[in-house]
Structure 1
């Protein structure tokens, strides 16, 4: 199979053999792909190594079938996204999330559009935590994990903004009945995420805990490296 001028971004790059790079990319029409950039680490490589890095929108070409294909062309489609500091950490978190949850070769519908929009929102200075929660919600929906945010999973009743719930993975929110030692989340926070309306700071913090719990469940209990990053503002970390 030969592909030309496919919109994509690099999620991760590492050295491969003596002169090449192994790239994990997210493409618009083909989902996550593994690309071998052969000879790109040579001094006179015909491929632009400097472009093959995260946050640089690209048009890529490749040839081949299977788990790894060969990169044949790479051109910038726009300038690199201007992310610095905490927002750069958040972008790396997005990349790790996609790498860990998305299999190669599955386009997952509008994933590329959601991913690019999230990066653009981070670059534009939109609220960091809320931007990440929206992407996590959309990613889980596209992957078929569909989190329930609008009704109580046992009764089917609409969520009460003034009530507290216990969220059961693979089921949904259940009314909290006074159990000890469980994570509780307000109906107002769940309804805000469902309606795509930014909630209060306290409810954003509840949603952060919820999404981490649900993502960890889908990861089989494993942690993302980004969750352990130490930064000056770890106390208010949005990841």
Structure 2
């Protein structure tokens, strides 16, 4: 019986851990097959061709085979295009990887989300990190929105979730776990109805990531902060944690 084989699959390594003295288990995000697990035999040996290639936040093409839950990696090629992000941008990349590991089921393809991930990684790896800090933050918000929508955890952002009443332009609405969008209390993090509708429009674009990135980048600092806080609360809720590990690491490093 022929062993199923996939060749030249676009992918990113999300996480890697030791399997034996010489091999690794990889969690990878592929464009056409979603999140899968691979064993890279001999990848820790100094002579292995896998050793310099299997790095996170790098565009790869992978070939692998097998029908088991953990397939066998046969070949890996670095596709180039950008260098590894550094500093806070690197931690932001690890944050994205943690979200994907927690929220994506195995073997469930999300091609649009893969393209968005490739886009945000390019932003994080861009030159002049200081000048791009605002753009990097906007890219994270855009990706969070797309991830939540892709996995069915983001309600329609042009109507109140419980009543389906259209949002009013100047009324403030909060995005709340389990309740979706509802009118906000006075001191609650919220966006105006016109702002939520603009975000919803970008998510329906043919290329949603650049559209959402542009929309978030246009927001003022206060609105951006409010969106970040609401998305963070929603993501933490669905990940089942008070704070994601990578977020806590970033806080600890900033405190130092």
Short-chain TM bin: 0.7 to 0.9
Residues 1:63 and 2:65 are matched in the alignment: yes
Inter-partner Cα distance in structure 1 for 2:178 and 2:169:
22
Residues 1:210 and 2:212 are matched in the alignment: no
**Residue-by-residue CA offset, 1:81-132 (whole Å, 9 max, x unaligned):** 3412111111111111101111211112422111101111222336122111
Q: Quote the residue 2:107 is aligned against.
A: 105
Q: 1:220 to 1:233 in 2, by over 3 A?
A: closer
- Tell me how large the CA RMSD over aligned residues is: 2.3
Query: 1:200 aligns to what?
Result: 220
| CA-to-aligned-CA distance 1:7-44 (integer Å, 9 cap, x gap) | 11111112211110111111111111111000121233
Partner residue of 1:190? 196
Classify 1:154/1:85 alpha carbon distance in 2 versus 1 (closer, same or farther; 3 Å).
same
Secondary structure of residue in 1 paired with 2:243: coil
- When structure 1 is superposed on structure 2, of 152-161 and 36-45 the one drifting more is 152-161
Please state whether the residue corresponding to 2:190 is helix, strand or coil.
Answer: strand
Alignment of 1:44-123 (within 5 A): 44-45=47-48, 47-123=49-125
1:177-222 alpha-carbon deviations (Å, 9 max, x no partner): 55xxx73312155344334312111111101111111112212345
- 2:58–2:84 Cα contact (<8 Å) kept: no
TM (norm. structure 1) is 0.87
Q: Separation in 2 of the partners of 1:128 and 1:169?
A: 25
- 1:134–1:193 CA contact under 8 A, matched in 2: no
SS where residue 8 of structure 2 aligns?
strand
Secondary structure, in 3 states, of the residue corresponding to 1:51? coil
2:29 pairs, out of 19, 26, 50, with 26
What TM-score comes out, normalization by structure 2 length? Answer: 0.81
The 8 Å contact of residues 109 and 142 in structure 1, kept in 2 or not, is answered as no
User: Cα–Cα, structure 1 residues 233 and 130, in superposed 2: closer, same or farther, change >3 Å?
Assistant: farther
* SS, match of residue 175 in structure 2: strand
**In 1, Cα distance between the equivalents of 2:108 and 2:168?**
37
Matched, 1:134 2:145: no
Q: Using the TM superposition, give the Cα deviation of residue 156 of structure 1 relative to its aligned residue in structure 2, in angstroms.
A: 2.9
- 1:12 correspondence with 2:20: no
Contact 1:31-1:104 within 8 A present in 2 as well:
yes
* 1:167 is the counterpart of 2:175: yes
Alignment gaps of 5+ in structure 1: none
